[in-house]
Amino acid sequence: MDRLHFYSIMNGEGTLDYELYLNTKSLLSCQKDFAAFCNKDELQFQVVHQIEELWMKLIGYTLLDVDEYLLKENTNRVITLFRRVHIALRLMINQLDLLETMSPKEYQEIRLQLGNGSGQESPGFRVILKMHPFLWHSFKSTYLDQHGLTVEKIYNSEYAHADAYVVAEALAEFDELFQRFRFVHMQLIQRTIGMGSKSLKGRSVEMLNEGQRVRFFPELWEIRSHMTDTWGASYGVVRDSIGGH
Ligand code: HEM
């Protein structure tokens, strides 16, 4: 097959309505020229990062809407939009798998192209990291405080599987999936450059473990251990066997 011929088709003319509406001319020029790639894996490397940025843009944009609907206590909208956020996060997580088809050596060649860039400079990631305090405040004031509820009441003492609980679980799922992205990304690092190495900023890769411990909504995780402690208090630390031995 004639590579150059197919390369020109891949870029498209950019003149048809489909191409104009989707701005494919710009979109498909966001990657290096085919001739400039350092190896056959670099297109995939750029595309995966760019797609992840687009998902994060969509997630950030959607969370702004979620916040407005939280303040209006519009649970149906909140749940539908959180579902969109959750699906996009799962896509982000699953798409990291693609980069595991790249050998460690091919990544080393690509790495020489990256300057001292760091994923911590990602605009999408940085904006999502800033949103959780606002979401928590909106949820707490509208779904809890206004109704005299607390996290403890909706999960345990007054548990009714009502709106506040369902929205709290959507927040928890967002939190969990964001952490899962960080966890799977660490596995990708391990697979590609190995733990114990230094990032392009000269920092130890292990510093990312700190981010993995961050929880957006700690109260939603603490309630679970609190419940285990209080429910478990009836039997103490070690429970008797059901069989009596
Ligand atoms: C082979 C592929 C990859 C490798 C080897 C890699 C490696 C790294 C390293 C070493 C860091 C720490 C950098 C620092 O010192 O600041 C980092 C951070 C980060 N990378 Fe990647 N990365 C890869 C792919 C990706 C992809 C596809 C994304 C998609 C968005 C991504 C997003 C991030 C983010 C958001 C951070 C900051 C994480 C945090 O603060 O918890 N990385 N990456």
Contact between residue 99 and residue 44 where contact means Cβ atoms under 8 Å apart: yes
199 close to ligand 1 (CB < 6 Angstrom)? yes
Q: Which amino acid is present at 25?
A: K
- Enumerate domains of the chain plus CATH numbers: 1-30 (no CATH), 39-221 (1.20.58.480)
CA 46 – ligand 1 centroid, Å: 13
CA 182 – ligand 1 centroid, Å: 9
d(CA 121, CA 115) in angstroms, rounded, equals: 13
Task: Please state the pTM of the whole predicted model.
Answer: 0.94
Contact between residue 206 and residue 195 where contact means Cβ atoms under 8 Å apart: yes
108 close to ligand 1 (CB < 6 Angstrom)? no
Contact between residue 95 and residue 48 where contact means Cβ atoms under 8 Å apart: yes
pLDDT digit string, tens, across residues 40-50: 999 999 999 99
107 close to ligand 1 (CB < 6 Angstrom)? yes
- The pLDDT score that the predictor gives to residue 99 is 97
Average pLDDT estimate for 55-69: 98
CA 6 – ligand 1 centroid, Å: 32
pLDDT digit string, tens, across residues 214-226: 999 999 999 999 9
Contact between residue 211 and residue 178 where contact means Cβ atoms under 8 Å apart: no
- Using CA atoms in the order 135, 141, 143, 144, what is the torsion angle rounded to 10 degrees? 120
How many CB atoms are located within 10 Å of the residue 87 CB?
Answer: 13
